[in-house]
Amino acid sequence: MIRTAVLSAAAFAISVSGNLSSPATDTAADPISEWSVAASSAAAASGMAPFRTPLTLAILHLAMYDAVVNVTRDYQPYAVKLRAAAGASAAAAATEAGYRVLLNEFPTQQAALDATYEKLLANERTSEAKRNGMKIGAEVARRLLSTRATDGRNAGIPYAIGSGPGTWMPTPPGMLPVTTAFLARVTPFTMTSVAQFRPSGPPPLTSRKWATEYNEVKALGAKDGSTRSTEQTATALFWEPPAGTVWTATIRRLAREQALDLSASARFQAAAFAAFADGLIACWDAKFHFNCWRPVTAIRQGDADRNPLTVPDKSWEPLAVTPNFPEYPSGHACATAAVTHTIESFFQQKVQIPARNIITGEERLYSRAADIVDEVIEARMLLGVHFRAADEDGAEMGRQIARQIRRHWFGRVR
């Protein structure tokens, strides 16, 4: 299915090297993409939690970006500014930075990381250039890891289950406890604080807006007896897998298929992975601030909200299994908006944005970030796991994150 809508020129003009229709480059010679894939493999092998992995990817890509641009000097560093020796290898700098970050994050995976490291360094033939690049990469990694040492990504945050109408509680079928509360307190990457873009909150339970959204999900998001169309069900199921399974692959694919040079690849992936991580951090701050119940809880307890327009259904089930953390706002919508608007800005609308469902293999292509975001807003409601306000407000948070990245980060050296 191809979306062909047209969008006006973007304000965020992150330059792209190479022809947009060029064939893919060999990732074996690209430390940015190579280490990115290695990071995901190491995360899976080490058993790292899925919501923890995006933070490592952001740190990794930001370190490699700083390592590269401290050599090429074409873009502003993210956090670490050094003076590289003339002729230093930017690829060696990225290779060393990536290795140091991943060894810090995955010490038990050293053998696999060493193999990738040796393969990437074998591409470097000039010993002095390689040595000088490695020196820059090592120092960038050391400094960046130092700034993130107490960022909360490895903290255990206790969570007390609330009570009363509107408050989150474990949901069927598993009735699982919250496992992601730490995300709400992680130091952000591009935001001034975790609460910088915190929304105003869901509609009051006694309001007409709440009743409208309640009854919408009750009718359209039900597993059985829903009024969804066949197309609505297909769209809902397409967007059921977590956002990370979609956008991590898309970011890497675009960097490869558009034949970005080393500096552009480092910049693009740093911006996109930072957007994704901050989308999660901002959303989780809001989730645990408002601590809202999920549709399956609300609909089964519809007589507890003191709204005469909400009628309970004690046996109601959503189309999809409900995630085990608070409802408002939608993490999928926030992360999707942050990433896709960052992608769109980088390429100035010159590429279609692919999205692939890892379960079914179905792929969809979009010409506008707005079309993707609108579809996700609708889909997460149709799955029965979110109310519309959570999706819409989450998407707006993601747009604000992308806008801030566009205006304040990864700028060209003047």
In a structure prediction context, what are the per-residue pLDDT tens digits for the chain, which is 414 residues long?
Answer: 333 222 222 222 232 222 222 223 333 468 999 999 999 999 999 999 999 999 999 999 999 999 999 999 999 999 999 999 999 999 999 999 999 999 999 999 999 999 999 999 998 877 999 999 999 999 999 999 999 999 999 998 888 888 899 999 999 999 999 989 999 999 999 999 999 999 999 999 999 999 999 999 999 999 999 999 999 999 999 999 999 999 999 999 999 999 899 999 999 999 999 999 999 999 999 999 999 999 999 999 999 999 999 999 999 999 999 999 999 999 999 999 999 999 999 998 789 999 999 999 999 999 999 999 999 999 999 999 999 999 999 999 999 999 999 999 999 987
Backbone φ, ψ for residue 118 (5° rounding):
-65, -35
Helix (H) or strand (E) holding 363: strand 363-366
Gap between the Cα atoms of 383 and 398, Å rounded: 21
Count of other CB atoms within 10 angstroms of residue 269: 27
Residue 190 lies in a domain: yes
Residue 9 lies in a domain: no
For residue 384, give both structure tokens. 């029965």
* Spatial contact of 56 and 145, defined as CB atoms under 8 Å apart: no
Strands 363-366 and 353-356: antiparallel
* Spatial contact of 140 and 97, defined as CB atoms under 8 Å apart: yes
* Spatial contact of 411 and 75, defined as CB atoms under 8 Å apart: yes
Give the 3-state secondary structure of residue 72. helix
Residue 166 lies in a domain: no
CATH code, domain carrying 209 = 1.10.606.20
**pTM more than 0.85:** yes
Residue 13 lies in a domain: no
Residue 131 lies in a domain: yes
Give the number of domains in the chain.
Answer: 1
Looking at residue 66, what is its pLDDT?
A: 98
* Spatial contact of 188 and 338, defined as CB atoms under 8 Å apart: no
* Spatial contact of 100 and 142, defined as CB atoms under 8 Å apart: yes
Residue 2 lies in a domain: no
Residue 53 lies in a domain: yes
Looking at residue 29, what is its pLDDT?
A: 62
Give DSSP secondary structure letters for 30-81: -HHHHHHHHHHHHHHHHT--TTTHHHHHHHHHHHHHHHHHHHH-SB--SS--
Residue 17 lies in a domain: no
Handedness of CA 300, 301, 303, 306 (dihedral sign): negative
Looking at residue 125, what is its pLDDT?
A: 77
Look up the domain containing 128 and give its range: 27-157+174-408
**Among 359, 360, 340, 324, which residue's Cα sits nearest to residue 401?**
340
**Among 173, 297, 299, 286, which residue's Cα sits nearest to residue 226?**
299
Looking at residue 78, what is its pLDDT?
A: 98
Looking at residue 159, what is its pLDDT?
A: 87
Give DSSP secondary structure letters for 261-295: -HHHHHHHHHHHHHHHHHHHHHHHHHHHHH-BPPH
